[in-house]
Structure formats: structure tokens, C-alpha cells
């Protein structure tokens, strides 16, 4: 998972070329509990780094999802409409939320690698 980057808000992004697949981390889905609804952004929407662009609702709470990078939403995981629990089952793979065409690949440098993210989680405990 060394090509995955993490935000302080518990989103992950895996970049392939100029497109990043974005979702929430295992830690985030554990904190939320059973996910019951996901509000996906429209394809074509432009998002700014740090802007909330989706909502994940669980039996415990609703949580905004923040863009780890700026760009254009080029795909949304429509499977989540019928099966939002996929985020609980596979947060870092099948439970991805959107794909974003990167506006500035340099923004990836502001994100954490897996080791730094795990260190941050340890400091939360």
C-alpha cells in the first residue's frame, strides 16, 4: 500500500496517472460504525483540497468526507447507493467513494504515507 497517501481527516487516495481514487480509511469506518447511506458528488464537479464533497451516514452519525486533493470528480462508486456497507467491508478497496482527476499533483506532497498515518493514529490513542 506504499502508493496510497492519507489525509489528517482519514481519507485515502491512490493515484494512477493523473487520477486518484479516494475513500475513507479503515480507522474512519471503524469510528463511524455501520454505514447506512452515502451521498456521492456529481460527476464533473470540481472540488478543492479540504472541501467537503460527500457524506457518509452511519447508525451513529453523519460525517463529511473532505477532498485530499483538488480536481474534477470523474467517477463515483454507484455501488454504494445500493450497498453502503461496502465501506465497512472494504474501506480501502471496493468501498472507494470517488475518482478525481488531479488539478495539481503537487498537493499529494502535503499528505502522509502509510507510516506517518499509522504514527498519527497511535498518537490519537
Which backbone phi and psi does 6 adopt, to 5 degrees?
A: -130, 145
List, for residues 2-33, the tens digit of each pLDDT value. 589 999 999 999 999 999 999 999 999 999 99
CATH of the domain at 108: 2.40.50.100
Is 87 domain-assigned? yes
Is 71 domain-assigned? yes
Is 123 domain-assigned? no
Count: domains in the chain: 1
Question: Residue 13 contacts by C-beta under 8 Å, 6 or more apart in sequence?
Answer: 4, 5, 6, 7, 20, 21, 22, 68, 69, 100, 108, 111
Is 91 domain-assigned? yes
Range of the domain at 88: 4-118
pTM here is 0.95
Is 124 domain-assigned? no
List, for residues 26-79, the tens digit of each pLDDT value. 999 999 999 999 999 999 999 999 999 999 999 989 999 999 999 999 999 999
Is 85 domain-assigned? yes
Is 17 domain-assigned? yes
Amino acid at each position: 500500500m506504499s502508493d496510497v497517501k492519507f489525509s489528517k481527516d482519514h481519507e485515502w487516495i491512490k493515484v494512477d496517472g493523473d487520477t486518484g481514487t479516494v475513500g475513507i480509511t479503515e480507522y474512519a469506518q471503524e469510528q463511524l460504525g455501520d454505514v447506512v447511506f452515502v451521498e456521492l458528488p456529481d460527476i464533473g464537479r470540481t472540488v478543492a483540497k479540504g472541501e467537503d464533497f460527500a457524506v457518509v451516514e452511519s447508525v451513529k452519525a453523519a460525517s463529511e468526507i473532505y477532498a485530499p486533493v483538488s480536481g474534477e470528480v470523474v467517477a463515483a462508486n454507484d455501488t454504494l447507493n445500493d450497498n453502503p456497507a461496502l465501506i465497512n467491508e472494504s474501506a480501502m478497496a471496493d468501498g472507494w467513494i470517488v475518482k478525481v482527476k488531479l488539478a495539481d499533483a503537487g498537493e499529494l506532497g502535503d499528505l502522509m504515507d502509510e507510516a506517518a498515518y499509522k504514527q498519527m493514529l497511535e498518537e490519537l490513542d
